[in-house]
């Protein structure tokens, strides 16, 4: 069962604002900025759940109000964003949902060289293509990444940055993320990042970082449920059913790299590192041979531990022309599927192109190719050997400073080379964005 308690982000924001307002005189100058917005989208999807067995196509309306805000004082600032997306399908009502994304960050200037930050957030994400929007926890592509959670996520972080001089600084960040997904109500992801940055010259920067990650996936009791796994477990697969299982993974990563800015609007980032991972899986299953009528079978507990290491890397190249931007990215890392806890080796290649035309027209295209593989049977007793494709393109027209129109197309594909299956999904969507011509500012 899902837990009933939810983080009261609105209460946290209200209390923070009251504290800042009461102490406004001691905090120095006051600056407030609010930037509300609203968008309406019309979607057509030919495979709503990204499911090769049970395809459903339909049109849907998406309503998304949003608010960006910023409170600033001489030594303290509070920034945040709150966004809600209401999704309503014309016929396939079972897919109706409400997504949310809220976050808030408080920054404190401890001294001329030191800054402390604390952040909190809450997210509900149900979009089927969201697993292509991977978030890199290390910040450099050299450590550890995971798919955006498709269900409910609560997260918080603290960060401290100290500048030794104008050329070098050291930062530390700790993040705790608690999430509920398809088969878990309470799983956690922790990570700690220590990062050193030094400017070797006016155009070249050296970065060295150490990342530690701890991932704990706690499975629900799904023995008697009829849960369908559209993205990992196919109906013809024979896998063990887990209940009261625990999957733990610890990852240590050290990486270093260079960021170089060339004279002709060319940027190059290259990082290489080494990763060591330990996994520990404990499962409990029922011995089906001993089940007779209503008599429960014997509970069998199994534990499997494993470790391994690998090289990680990330390279990106960005070139800016007069009206065109091009970005190339390639990296290798370890990935986590937060829906079922499976891990895999991931290689990713991305090409992004954006071009600006006169009269407020902008076009863009993004090509992404991911390879997910395991060299042996994974924790679910089946191999992972999959190729993912994601192609998006669109055109945007800024009619004036408060109204923008977008027309976009997205194609996603998944090829399972081990089972010789494929899944395709196409989406066309038209978006109308409303923004205030000028944000509300109060001093």
Stretch 222-243: mean pLDDT, rounded? 39
What are the two backbone dihedrals, phi and then psi, of residue 350, each rounded to the nearest 5 degrees? -135, 140
Tokens, residue 406 = 């977008």
* Residue 103 banded pLDDT, cuts 50, 70, 90: very high
* Residue 17 banded pLDDT, cuts 50, 70, 90: low
Averaged pLDDT score across all residues of the chain? 80
CA angle 11, 15, 16 (to 5 degrees): 115
Percent of the chain with pLDDT over 90: 44
SS3 call for 443: coil
Of the candidates 299, 301, 332, which has an alpha carbon nearest to the alpha carbon of residue 315?
332
What are the two backbone dihedrals, phi and then psi, of residue 419, each rounded to the nearest 5 degrees? -95, -5
Q: Which residue has the higher pLDDT, 116 or 73?
A: 116
Stretch 291-303: mean pLDDT, rounded? 49
Contacting residues for 106 by C-beta, under 8 A, at least 6 apart = 16, 76, 77, 78, 117, 118, 119
> For 42-53, what is each residue's pLDDT tens digit?
999 999 888 777
Within 289-420, strands assigned E span 299-320, 324-336, 343-356, 361-373, 385-400, 403-416
* Residue 29 banded pLDDT, cuts 50, 70, 90: low
Domain locations along the chain: 9-319
pLDDT over threshold 60, residue 35: yes
State the pLDDT at residue 288. Answer: 46
State the pLDDT at residue 138. Answer: 43
Contacting residues for 151 by C-beta, under 8 A, at least 6 apart = 124, 125, 126, 179, 180, 181, 182
| Separation between Cα atoms, residue 66 and residue 36, nearest integer Å | 6
* Residue 275 banded pLDDT, cuts 50, 70, 90: confident
* Residue 300 banded pLDDT, cuts 50, 70, 90: low
> For 153-199, what is each residue's pLDDT tens digit?
888 999 999 999 999 999 999 999 887 776 677 788 888 999 999 99
Percent of the chain with pLDDT over 70: 72
State the pLDDT at residue 319. Answer: 94
State the pLDDT at residue 10. Answer: 59
> For 321-338, what is each residue's pLDDT tens digit?
989 999 999 998 877 665
State the pLDDT at residue 14. Answer: 63
> For 128-141, what is each residue's pLDDT tens digit?
666 566 555 444 44
Stretch 359-375: mean pLDDT, rounded? 90
Beta-ladder partners of 254: 210, 274
pLDDT over threshold 90, residue 351: yes
| Separation between Cα atoms, residue 17 and residue 156, nearest integer Å | 18
Stretch 270-298: mean pLDDT, rounded? 64
State the pLDDT at residue 150. Answer: 54
């Amino acid at each position: 069962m899902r837990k009933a308690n939810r983080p009261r982000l609105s209460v946290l924001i209200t209390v923070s604002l009251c504290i800042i307002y009461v102490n406004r005189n001691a905090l120095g100058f006051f600056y407030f900025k609010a930037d509300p917005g609203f968008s309406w989208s019309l979607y057509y999807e030919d495979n709503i759940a990204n499911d090769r067995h049970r395809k459903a196509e339909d049109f849907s309306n998406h309503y998304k109000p949003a608010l960006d805000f910023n409170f600033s004082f001489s030594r303290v600032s509070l920034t945040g964003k709150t966004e809600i997306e209401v999704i309503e399908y014309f016929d396939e009502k079972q897919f109706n949902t409400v997504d949310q994304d809220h976050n808030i960050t408080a920054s404190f200037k401890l001294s001329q060289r030191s800054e402390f930050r604390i952040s909190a957030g809450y997210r509900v994400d149900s979009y089927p293509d969201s697993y292509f929007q991977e978030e890199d926890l290390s910040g450099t592509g050299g450590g550890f990444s995971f798919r955006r959670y498709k269900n409910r996520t609560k997260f918080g972080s603290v960060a401290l940055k100290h500048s030794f001089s104008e050329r070098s600084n050291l930062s530390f960040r700790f993040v705790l993320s608690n999430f509920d997904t398809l088969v878990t109500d309470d799983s956690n992801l922790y990570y700690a990042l220590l990062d050193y940055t030094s400017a070797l010259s006016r155009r070249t920067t050296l970065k060295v970082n150490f990342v530690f990650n701890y991932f704990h996936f706690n499975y629900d009791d799904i023995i008697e449920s009829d849960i369908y796994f559209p993205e990992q477990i196919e109906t013809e697969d024979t896998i063990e059913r887990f209940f009261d299982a625990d999957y733990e993974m610890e990852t240590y990563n050290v990486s270093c790299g260079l960021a170089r800015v060339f004279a002709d609007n060319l940027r190059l980032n290259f990082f290489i590192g080494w990763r060591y991972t330990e996994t520990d899986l404990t499962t409990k299953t029922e011995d089906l041979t001993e089940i007779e009528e209503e008599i429960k079978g014997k509970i069998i507990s199994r534990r499997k531990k494993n470790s391994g290491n690998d090289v990680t890397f990330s390279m990106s190249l960005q070139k800016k022309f007069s009206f065109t931007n091009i970005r190339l990215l390639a990296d290798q890392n370890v990935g986590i599927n937060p829906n079922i806890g499976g891990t895999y080796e991931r290689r990713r290649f991305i090409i992004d192109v954006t071009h600006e035309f006169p009269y407020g027209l902008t076009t863009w295209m993004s090509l992404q190719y991911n390879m997910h593989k395991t060299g042996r049977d994974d924790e679910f007793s089946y191999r992972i050997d999959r190729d993912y494709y994601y192609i998006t393109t669109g055109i945007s027209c800024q009619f004036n400073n408060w109204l923008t129109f977008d027309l976009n197309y997205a194609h996603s594909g998944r090829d399972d080379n081990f089972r010789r299956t494929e899944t395709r999904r196409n989406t066309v969507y038209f978006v109308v964005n409303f923004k205030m011509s000028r944000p509300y500012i109060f001093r």
